[in-house]
Structure 1
Amino acid sequence: MSAPLNPNTQIARALRRPGFAAIVSVLILAEIVSAFELSMMYVTLPTLIKEFQVDANTVVWVVTAYLLVSASAGVMGGRFGDMYGRRKVLVVVLIIAGAGSLVSLLGGSLGMIILGRAIQGVAGAVMGLAFGLAREHLAEARIPVGVSMIGASALIAGAGGALLAGIMIDVYSWHGIFAFAAVLAIVAAVAIWFVIPRDIVVKNHEKPDYLGSLLLPIAVSAILLGLSHSSKSGFGSIEFIGLMGGGVAVSLLWVWWELRVESPIVNLRMFKNRQIALVMTATVLAALGPVGGMAVPSQMVMQYPTATGFGLGFTATSAGMLGFVTAFVGYLFSPLGGRMAHRFGARLIFITGLLLMALVIPVILLTFGNVVMFVVAMSVNGIGISLTYGALPNVLIEAVPQTHTSETAGTNTMVRNVGQSAASAIGAYILASHQNPATTVVAQEGISLAFVVVLTFAVLSVLVALLMRRNPVPWVPESVTERNARRGRTDEMPANAGGEAKVTTIERL
């Protein structure tokens, strides 16, 4: 790691710093990789169910495996970025994600697809690193618009993933999806390497929380696995009780460890800040609801035949095209959302986005089989997601210091991905419970119940967001010395030892 540069060198680098468009463009490209790798599998689920002759509970793990690894990768990536340099870590993350795509491509079985998807999950670190780099390199007045565009790019990338997946399935096969994802990840890594200025870091003594990063996915996986198998084994089975009990026990162990370790993977102390706690809670509720819970039942609605009474009879390509168009409509609102957040506050835009997503669900439930109303509802949903994703980083930035941007954004990515993992498991359980074993077709009652659950979490997310303050009190991280004093220790640690939060980047001039 390099030592601080002298003022003349800093000035020279500042003069060579790329402009707003270049920085935001490559960071959007990196975020597209992450969002594309997540969303490209949703439209593929009906095809994989038929090809591998499995139920919804099994095939949904191609999504869940990605999300589980992504949860840990989000916080670990943010921590590593703050410690060793965000640009360097982002490039490594993109290369690993590309390797995961190759594993899924060459494996040829559902098990290998799931394994490759788990490796791809390291891309969950992208968003936190991208927000940190944007805040580090953009002028202060341009940060709200920049992070809004980066955050909302997940929406258009997700739609593009669904469209490409649909085309690949109809024209070729699901193999082409992973080939494209691998190429995209490498292109993004090269772009970041050549466009983003080199990291300037100072040496620090923080040690990564490897145990915490291992316990978290184990706990969540056990709980989700127990939930996904409950449709077959039942809630009173030894398997369900064992998995759920083990998951809860490991979760408690993880919390205990995170509160004691000096450099935790998730700084749970940040949740003492009212604004951060409310933002994280609203995020996980939205992930359980419209952000994570809409994808599976909406794909069933689009691709099921009209004879079911609720299906629209779309091909995989048509479903992907509809998703892309409605998401593109939403993405057009991302710059406007960023400017409105700068003028009126990110809280208002965040609440507006959540409210729009909640309002479209009753429309879908009441107009099953109506193509026009479904398209309108999904377009409004796209606008809601765009505003929510665009406002979310700005809401967090208002409450955290720059040195902890990637860490906090990574934690938010973690809770969102855990929520989406749970949403996938809950949705799969509901659909599998209403699935005909012979035809694998899900009854309308199952689709409706899945949407009602999504609506419940959507309403809760709005209510929590309304509790956020317009002018939040910023979070001030507690130093090691302060923590030791609070714990009553007399053997005060040396300065800059252990897990003290230190500035790892030098502000550009």
Structure 2
Amino acid sequence: MSSSNGIARTLRPQRPVPLIIAVLILADVVSAFESTMMFNALPKIMAAFAVTAVEASWTLTAFALVAATSAAVCGRLGDMYGRRTLLIALLLVAAVGSVVSACAGSLTVVIIGRAVQGVSGGVLPLCYGIIRENLPEERIAIGVSMVASAAMLAGAAGTVVSGLIIDTLSWHYIFVFAAGVALVAAFCALALPRSAFTDSTAHVDWPGAFLFAPAIALVLLGITNAPRWSWPDTRTLGSIFTGLVLFAAWSWWELRADSPLIDVRFFLDRKQGLALLANALLSAGVFGTTGLALQLLMQTPTSAPVGLGMSATAAGTATFCVTMLGFVLAPFSGRLSHRFGGRRALLVGTVCGVLSAVALALLHDTVPRMICAIAVLNIALVFMLTSIPNLVVEGVPAEHTSEVTGVHAVARTAFSGVGSSVATLLLSLSTAPGTQFATEDAYRNVFLLVGGSSAVGLLLALLIGKGGAGQARFQEPPSVSSAVGEGRL
């Protein structure tokens, strides 16, 4: 970039591409593992501190609230001041959070440690920016796809690894393990090239940060607690409404700020706006619903109307093994995105999403058939998950990569929470008489939601329009005045 826009490009020694990708995958593993490691630990936490499930679940909520804020704010800060430096800092802070929770003598301290751990939510957007910054153009799409799919694989591994640690040692040691991995990743990150993009003239948009953090926190608080409070509850509606009001104020401010925390004008562009909409829809309809519904289906006793009777460890292991298929296919998604554009990968993912809904509806009666259906689902997930950041790479200047992918990370977190709540509601609407077990119709409705959201995602992908990575515009976002003139504001 030219010096006129404040971006200084520095010379740096080259690093082997496999080394860069491997280090970034390790860093991504930290964030993904920390996001899922507590699922198996909740019963132990409840017993250790004599608390209810609602109280213990704050270990999940605290992490999610901070992670969402970190994804957006730290993405922009990395774009401004150096992604490698900020990546190392986030990993070290996450390690501190793990140590705090490991040494906790009360639930409150565990929650505080988990909140500190939540800064690792900013790791993935920084990884995308580092890939964009250091890899040759022909390897960027593959690198992005590998790191994106690693997040899905590490998330699936989180429940398996944490379960094994809890069964053989105690819940404290999952935090010891998380701290160790974070420290190793921080040390390895020193091998990454120093950031080439910095903006010495930019200043931190503190008003934007102070508006954004409570806005997204309140929305997520309402969404994540909706299954416990119920959607009509005044706490749910009040949290979400207040958050949306703050979010509207934040958007107004960002459109007029000289150096916005997140330049929302990028999403006035047709391609980026539709990509964000597709991401939100698929997060709610596919990512958010399937994780919960499939684990319930696999672990429900065979005496129920629908259930495979698998143990938690067996179900988690099976899910992890099938998820490895998605990770193996990630380079193919990257090559497809590089040659034909991220839109083509999104088309493949959404078509497979529709097919997976059909497969889940027809093949959930036995374990082998269910695994086949989940395999189709994981193919869909990996193409969906990897296509979105590649669409960002195609249409956003390099120095804004982490900023925009951070917004996508926030959208995925928020709408996945919506999807989980909707799946819980659908499964509770139709249960076997005298039990809490969902019926065949209840699961069929969940699979219908998966297929329907995939079909709408397919339509959005078609509307995005053609254009491969080589045809990316890399243009600055439209000005507020031009957006108003075109009727987009």
- TM-score category (smaller protein): 0.7 to 0.9
For 1:506, the equivalent position in structure 2 comes to: none
Please tell me whether the aligned partners of residues 69 and 216 of structure 2 are also in contact (alpha carbons under 8 angstroms): no
Please state how far the C-alpha of 1:111 moved relative to its aligned partner. Answer: 4.7
Which of 76, 79, 82 is the matching residue for 2:76? 79
Q: Do the aligned partners of residues 485 and 227 (structure 1) sit closer, same or farther apart at CA in structure 2, a change above 3 Å counting?
A: closer
Q: Report SS of the residue matched to 1:332.
A: helix
| Residue 251 of structure 2 is aligned to residue 255 of structure 1 | yes
Task: Report which stretch shifted further, 349-358 or 469-478.
Answer: 469-478
Please tell me whether the aligned partners of residues 331 and 382 of structure 1 are also in contact (alpha carbons under 8 angstroms): no
Please tell me whether the aligned partners of residues 301 and 312 of structure 1 are also in contact (alpha carbons under 8 angstroms): yes
CA displacement, residues 298-321 of structure 1 (integer Å, 9 cap, x when unaligned)? 222222322223232222321221
CA displacement, residues 352-372 of structure 1 (integer Å, 9 cap, x when unaligned)? 123323432343344444211
For 1:409, the equivalent position in structure 2 comes to: 405
- Separation (CA, whole Å) in 1 of partners of 2:431 and 2:89: 42
- Separation (CA, whole Å) in 2 of partners of 1:459 and 1:45: 36
Aligned residue type for 1:276: Q
- Separation (CA, whole Å) in 2 of partners of 1:221 and 1:383: 32
Which of 22, 32, 37 is the matching residue for 1:35? 32
Which of 180, 183, 190 is the matching residue for 1:183? 180
Please tell me whether the aligned partners of residues 231 and 433 of structure 1 are also in contact (alpha carbons under 8 angstroms): no
For 2:137, the equivalent position in structure 1 comes to: 140
Alignment of 1:391-402 (within 5 A): 391-402=387-398
- Separation (CA, whole Å) in 2 of partners of 1:389 and 1:233: 31
> Cα RMSD over matched residues?
3.4
Aligned residue type for 1:128: P
| Residue 336 of structure 2 is aligned to residue 337 of structure 1 | no
Q: Do the aligned partners of residues 20 and 405 (structure 1) sit closer, same or farther apart at CA in structure 2, a change above 3 Å counting?
A: same
Q: Do the aligned partners of residues 316 and 208 (structure 1) sit closer, same or farther apart at CA in structure 2, a change above 3 Å counting?
A: same
Which of 105, 127, 137 is the matching residue for 1:130? 127
Q: Any stretches of 5+ residues in structure 1 without a counterpart?
A: 4-8, 488-509
Please tell me whether the aligned partners of residues 60 and 428 of structure 1 are also in contact (alpha carbons under 8 angstroms): no
Q: Do the aligned partners of residues 275 and 485 (structure 1) sit closer, same or farther apart at CA in structure 2, a change above 3 Å counting?
A: closer
Please state how far the C-alpha of 1:135 moved relative to its aligned partner. Answer: 1.6
Larger RCO (CA within 8 A; separation ≥ 6): 1
Aligned residue type for 1:161: G
CA displacement, residues 447-480 of structure 1 (integer Å, 9 cap, x when unaligned)? 555554444433332322221111276352259x
Q: Do the aligned partners of residues 40 and 361 (structure 1) sit closer, same or farther apart at CA in structure 2, a change above 3 Å counting?
A: farther
| Residue 157 of structure 2 is aligned to residue 160 of structure 1 | yes
| Residue 311 of structure 2 is aligned to residue 311 of structure 1 | no
Aligned residue type for 1:306: T
Q: Do the aligned partners of residues 191 and 308 (structure 1) sit closer, same or farther apart at CA in structure 2, a change above 3 Å counting?
A: same
- Separation (CA, whole Å) in 1 of partners of 2:259 and 2:431: 46
Task: Report which stretch shifted further, 324-333 or 380-389.
Answer: 380-389
For 1:215, the equivalent position in structure 2 comes to: 211
For 1:325, the equivalent position in structure 2 comes to: 321
For 2:487, the equivalent position in structure 1 comes to: none
Task: Report which stretch shifted further, 107-116 or 318-327.
Answer: 107-116
Please state how far the C-alpha of 1:240 moved relative to its aligned partner. Answer: 4.2
For 1:349, the equivalent position in structure 2 comes to: 345
Aligned residue type for 1:123: S
Please state how far the C-alpha of 1:409 moved relative to its aligned partner. Answer: 1.8
Please state how far the C-alpha of 1:166 moved relative to its aligned partner. Answer: 2.7
For 1:376, the equivalent position in structure 2 comes to: 372
CA displacement, residues 18-69 of structure 1 (integer Å, 9 cap, x when unaligned)? 21111111111111111222233445567767886745x7665544433332
Q: Do the aligned partners of residues 399 and 262 (structure 1) sit closer, same or farther apart at CA in structure 2, a change above 3 Å counting?
A: same
- Separation (CA, whole Å) in 1 of partners of 2:230 and 2:74: 37
Aligned residue type for 1:35: A
Please tell me whether the aligned partners of residues 170 and 316 of structure 1 are also in contact (alpha carbons under 8 angstroms): no
CA displacement, residues 104-148 of structure 1 (integer Å, 9 cap, x when unaligned)? 333355554443333222112112211111121112222222222
For 1:292, the equivalent position in structure 2 comes to: 288
For 2:6, the equivalent position in structure 1 comes to: none
Q: Report SS of the residue matched to 1:398.
A: helix
Please tell me whether the aligned partners of residues 70 and 125 of structure 1 are also in contact (alpha carbons under 8 angstroms): yes
Q: Do the aligned partners of residues 231 and 164 (structure 1) sit closer, same or farther apart at CA in structure 2, a change above 3 Å counting?
A: closer
CA displacement, residues 423-455 of structure 1 (integer Å, 9 cap, x when unaligned)? 34444555677899x99x554466555554444
For 1:96, the equivalent position in structure 2 comes to: 93
For 2:116, the equivalent position in structure 1 comes to: 119
TM-score (norm 1): 0.82
- Separation (CA, whole Å) in 2 of partners of 1:248 and 1:407: 21
- Separation (CA, whole Å) in 2 of partners of 1:486 and 1:323: 45
- Separation (CA, whole Å) in 2 of partners of 1:409 and 1:232: 31
- Separation (CA, whole Å) in 2 of partners of 1:298 and 1:44: 20
Please tell me whether the aligned partners of residues 353 and 381 of structure 2 are also in contact (alpha carbons under 8 angstroms): yes
- Separation (CA, whole Å) in 1 of partners of 2:110 and 2:453: 30
For 2:64, the equivalent position in structure 1 comes to: 67
For 2:417, the equivalent position in structure 1 comes to: 421
- Separation (CA, whole Å) in 2 of partners of 1:355 and 1:230: 31
Q: Any stretches of 5+ residues in structure 2 without a counterpart?
A: 4-8, 485-489
TM-score (norm 2): 0.85
- Separation (CA, whole Å) in 2 of partners of 1:159 and 1:422: 20
Please tell me whether the aligned partners of residues 224 and 417 of structure 2 are also in contact (alpha carbons under 8 angstroms): no
Please state how far the C-alpha of 1:232 moved relative to its aligned partner. Answer: 6.2
- Separation (CA, whole Å) in 2 of partners of 1:413 and 1:128: 8
Please tell me whether the aligned partners of residues 68 and 417 of structure 1 are also in contact (alpha carbons under 8 angstroms): no
- Separation (CA, whole Å) in 2 of partners of 1:65 and 1:448: 33
Q: Do the aligned partners of residues 343 and 273 (structure 1) sit closer, same or farther apart at CA in structure 2, a change above 3 Å counting?
A: same
